[in-house]
Amino acid sequence: MMVKKFFLLIIALVFCLILLDKAFQFFLRQNMNTKMAYISREELDYDLLIHGPCEPLWMINPTQLDSITGISSYNLALSHSDFADNFIHLYQYLKHQKAPKYLLLYITPESMDLRYNKFNTYRFADFLADSTVASIVEEMDPLYFKWSKLPFVRYAYYSNFINFKFVQGVKHFFQKRKTPYHENGYEAPAIQAWHYNLSKMVELYPKNIEFKWNSMREKYLIKLVKYAQKKGIKVIFYESPVFAPTISYQKNRGEFIEHIKNTAQSLAVDFWEFGEIPMSKNEENFFSTLNTTLKGSRIFTDTLGKHIRQNLLCE
Amino acid sequence: MSLVYVEYLCFLVVFTGLYYLTSSKKIRAYLLLLCSFIFIAQHSFFSLIFLVASSVFTFFIAKKIAQTKSKPLLWFAISLHIIVLLGIKYFHWGNTLVNLSPLHFQTNTIIVALGVSFYTLQHISFLVETFHKRIPFPSLGNYLSYHAFFPKISSGPIEKPQTFLPQLASLNQSFSSENFVYGFQRILWGFFKKMVLADRLLPIVEQIFGLHTPAHGFTVWLGICLFTLALYFDFSAYIDIAIGSARILGIKLSENFNFPLHTTSIAAFWRCWHITLIQWLTQYLYYPIVYRFRKYPTLAVMLAIAVVFGLSGVWHGWGITYLLWAACHIVYLWFETLTKKQRNTIAKKLPRLFYQNFSIFITFNLVCFAHLFFRANSFATAQTLIQKVFTFPFFPQSVLVDFIAPLAGGGSQEQVFNLYISLLGCFLFLFLEKKIYPYYLSTKFRFSINFILLLLIFLFGIFDAGEAFIYLQF
């Protein structure tokens, strides 16, 4: 009797998990705020894609940029993302949308160091049926990949990052929403309730920090660039402004910039350096070493727009 | 996935299968010992060697004590255990031993033998009980199993030799579906507490204790209260898993918790929190001290409380914060001892329900205040947190900015959503725990509760490795 009940429990649970899996799959695709879902569903056509982690996400406003350059741009960047994460988003974009003319990719010494940003597996839970996505997820998060084959575990594993998106997806489905909250992909930096002062920003970098070049990051950077170039996209690397007083804390920043320059050269990619432009000295423009405040974001978008107009569109 | 759990479950299933395949008491005893050794060696080989060495040493010295009734030998063995425990835990003798031995390897971490705090107390119990001839002398194999028994090695409970050793002598019972159902449900209950409650609360606590965000007094206080809840869910979850696993094998382990957060006094709290440690301290320290100074009963009780909690503080950790944690409880218990009559008089004058709930509220807050020291990494952190708690205005001015965002680790909708889920889950569990527990944890298969718990684990559990067991550091 007990054995019968026990098996009944397992069967009921598996059945329920399969149903949940289907429900999550459906409603997560309805969430227009998830870039992977949005770029897979709606028809988009942009000339310029801005890509990278949170710095470009919060720093470059395509609407402002378009008003300066006269071309259309979309901010594909995602917070906390590394190049593998960026590659999948670009792959997904190009799978469903027309290829843009240009790709502006954020790169700093932090991008090449494993301690900064990461591969956010949960963003791809819904896209594991695609073999390209699956193979990258398997390489970046093998443990997750192993368990993701069980019903619903691909969503349960990172439930803290998935549940809210599922609820939002349900809401968007019933609202028949077609556009995300941030239509051009740009998310204005939040107003900092607890203002980081100079000392706090400097503390984010332990004294004399040494960056470490990660081969996996390099592998996906090259993969991303080559894939974009194969699709006829002109790729440009850019280094964003760095809050000036923190530079002296970073022992081998200069060496890394040189390394990035060499990598760019070998890939036939331009590298635009904005690390130490005048806005870098003003504390009001930053809320962390590399992230700008709304004021800083406006200044940088303006600078970048003018740079694009002069150096890219006049070619 | 927290493979710690999955690997453990697989290990338990395989071991249970092998265990019940044979009905021979001897084979089962060897199997139990072998699997326990594998389990410990998988944590660290040093842990296994240390456990075996200390057990063999204690076994033979206890044999000598039993034969000679030598008090100096007893004191020598007890002192040695205490010195070695202090050395391993606080002076990193583990690293020295590894470097001296053929096991030599480079490591930056402090090597601590798994479960050393728990089985050292068991060794002392065994020595004392043997000296008084209160237990039959076991075989070496059973004595090793007493300490190495895999469900309890990492989290306890601390077992008395007189309750555990006789069970090892009767390992020939056949598979019982009642035991299996109870064990399965107890393990599931533990997994739910760990994955859905404790692991969701710990990052919130980290926000407050890590001082990553400035916050108002009330927010900091809530963070401190949440640490008490997280500690309870975490520790009791491991105990549930240990008790459940042992029960499947037909072995009954002692209970370590009995709804401690529903108690109405600090004395009652300590009868329900980490019960086996307190019972050990009571039996081997509290009673002897009270007996020794029985001519001055109040003074004897106060002295015994101070000694018991002072040593409990040292047992938990080496540092001023642990001593302050112990000092808080000493003061609370002294106050309760000295005001017992007055409090009884007040209790009679007030409505019972009001007095009971008020007492629970006060007790919980006092325990939380002491836990502030328990969790703070340094005296400076504890000082900063206390300053924050007593800085006015106590209540946050903006709910989202000063209250929700610091606890949620930011103010995004997703973070706030996760915070609400975690808090709702914890408070609902605390409210329902006492009602569901006796009904669910029986030998009857509760289909609907099992189903709901499993579903909740899949929906809200933290699978990605989760947080480490808090009590493992002790």
Contact B418 A6 (CB under 8 A): no
Confidence check: pLDDT of B388 > 90:
no
Q: Could you tell me what percent of chain A has a pLDDT over 90?
A: 71
Q: Are residues B75 and B191 in the same domain?
A: no
Contact A167 B417 (CB under 8 A): yes
Q: Are residues B301 and B426 in the same domain?
A: yes
- Domain membership of residue B3 (yes or no) is no
Q: Domain of A209: which CATH number?
A: 3.40.50.1110
Question: Cα separation of B416 and A98, whole Å?
Answer: 37
* B448 interfacial to chain A (CB closer than 8 Å): no
Domain that holds residue A165: 2-311
Long-range CB contact pairs, B288-293, < 8 A, 24+: none
Q: Which of A121, A152, A159 to mutate to test the interface with B (most CBs of B within 10 A)?
A: A159
Average pLDDT over residues B71-77: 93
Of B412, B418, B455, the CB nearest to A160: B418
List residues bridging with A50 in a β-sheet.
Answer: A75, A104
Q: Could you tell me what percent of chain B has a pLDDT over 90?
A: 55
Contact B405 A193 (CB under 8 A): yes
Interface confidence: ipTM more than 0.90: no
- Domain membership of residue B108 (yes or no) is yes
Contact A8 B421 (CB under 8 A): no
> What are the φ and ψ backbone dihedral angles of B256, each rounded to 5 degrees?
-115, -15
Q: Which residue has the higher pLDDT, B19 or B473?
A: B19
Q: Are residues B289 and B239 in the same domain?
A: yes
Tokens representing A26?
């459906």
Domain that holds residue B96: 24-172
Question: Cα separation of A130 and A223, whole Å?
Answer: 17
Q: Are residues B188 and B162 in the same domain?
A: no
What average pLDDT does chain A have? 90
Burial (0-12, 13-18, 19+ Cβ within 10 Å), B379: middle
Question: Cα separation of B359 and B330, whole Å?
Answer: 18
pLDDT in tens, B229-269: 999 999 999 999 999 999 999 999 999 999 999 999 999 99
Q: Are residues B117 and B251 in the same domain?
A: no
Nearest Cα of chain B lies from the Cα of A118 at a distance, in angstroms, of 15
Q: How many domains does chain B have?
A: 2
Residue A303 and residue A274 in contact, taking contact as beta carbons nearer than 8 Å: yes
pLDDT at B448: 92
DSSP secondary structure code for residue B193 in this structure: I
Radius of gyration of chain A (CA): 21
Q: Are residues B110 and B207 in the same domain?
A: no
pLDDT at B98: 60
- Domain membership of residue B409 (yes or no) is yes
Q: Given pLDDT bands bounded at 50, 70 and 90, which one contains residue A296? A: very high
Q: Are residues B148 and B287 in the same domain?
A: no
Confidence check: pLDDT of B2 > 50:
no
Radius of gyration of chain B (CA): 23
- Which residues of chain B have a CB within 8 Å of the CB of A194? 213-214
Q: Are residues B466 and B446 in the same domain?
A: yes
pLDDT at A122: 93
Cis ω for the linkage preceding B393 (within 30 of 0): yes
Residue B330 and residue B323 in contact, taking contact as beta carbons nearer than 8 Å: no
Of B150, B172, B194, which residue is a domain's last?
A: B172
Q: How many domains does chain A have?
A: 1
Nearest Cα of chain A lies from the Cα of B10 at a distance, in angstroms, of 15
- Which residues of chain A have a CB within 8 Å of the CB of B214? 194
- Domain membership of residue B453 (yes or no) is yes
Task: Pick the closest to residue B321 from B270, B277, B375, B273 (CA basis).
Answer: B375
Contact B451 A160 (CB under 8 A): no
Task: Pick the closest to residue A20 from B195, B417, B458, B447 (CA basis).
Answer: B458
pTM above 0.95, yes or no: no
DSSP symbols for B408-429 = HTS--HHHHHHHHHHHHHHHHH
- Which residues of chain A have a CB within 8 Å of the CB of B181? 2
CA max distance for chain A:
80
pLDDT at B105: 52
Confidence check: pLDDT of A272 > 90:
yes
Name residues 394-413 of chain B within 8 A of A (Cβ): 398, 401-402, 405, 411-413
Q: Could you tell me what percent of chain B has a pLDDT over 70?
A: 91
pLDDT in tens, A175-202: 998 889 999 999 988 766 555 555 666 6
Q: Are residues B367 and B287 in the same domain?
A: yes
Cis ω for the linkage preceding A180 (within 30 of 0): no
Those residues whose C-beta lies under 8 Å from the C-beta of residue A122, and which sit 6 or more positions away, are A157, A158, A161, A162
List residues bridging with A118 in a β-sheet.
Answer: A81
Confidence check: pLDDT of B103 > 60:
no
Of B133, B153, B172, which residue is a domain's last?
A: B172
DSSP secondary structure code for residue A288 in this structure: S
In this predicted structure, which of A140-154, B169-183, B391-405 has the lowest mean pLDDT? B391-405
pLDDT at B441: 85
Of B123, B148, B172, which residue is a domain's last?
A: B172
Q: Given pLDDT bands bounded at 50, 70 and 90, which one contains residue A236? A: very high
List residues bridging with A73 in a β-sheet.
Answer: A48
Task: Pick the closest to residue B373 from B356, B388, B385 (CA basis).
Answer: B385
Of B177, B213, B461, the CB nearest to A2: B177
In this predicted structure, which of A179-193, B44-58, B325-339, B429-443 has the lowest mean pLDDT? A179-193
* B429 interfacial to chain A (CB closer than 8 Å): no
Contact A156 B463 (CB under 8 A): yes
**How many whole angstroms from its chain centre is CA A62?**
15
Q: Are residues B199 and B120 in the same domain?
A: no
Of B180, B214, B450, the CB nearest to A9: B450
Residue A88 and residue A142 in contact, taking contact as beta carbons nearer than 8 Å: no
Tokens representing B94?
């583990």
Q: Are residues B133 and B265 in the same domain?
A: no
- Report chain A residues touching chain B, CB-CB < 8 A: 2-3, 5-6, 8-9, 12-13, 16-17, 20, 143-144, 147, 152-153, 156-161, 163-165, 167-168, 190, 193-194
pLDDT at B110: 53
Nearest Cα of chain A lies from the Cα of B376 at a distance, in angstroms, of 21
DSSP symbols for B266-324 = HHHHHHHSSHHHHHHHIIIIIHHHHHHTTTSHHHHHHHHHHHHHHHHHHHH-SSHHHHH
Q: Are residues B41 and B146 in the same domain?
A: yes
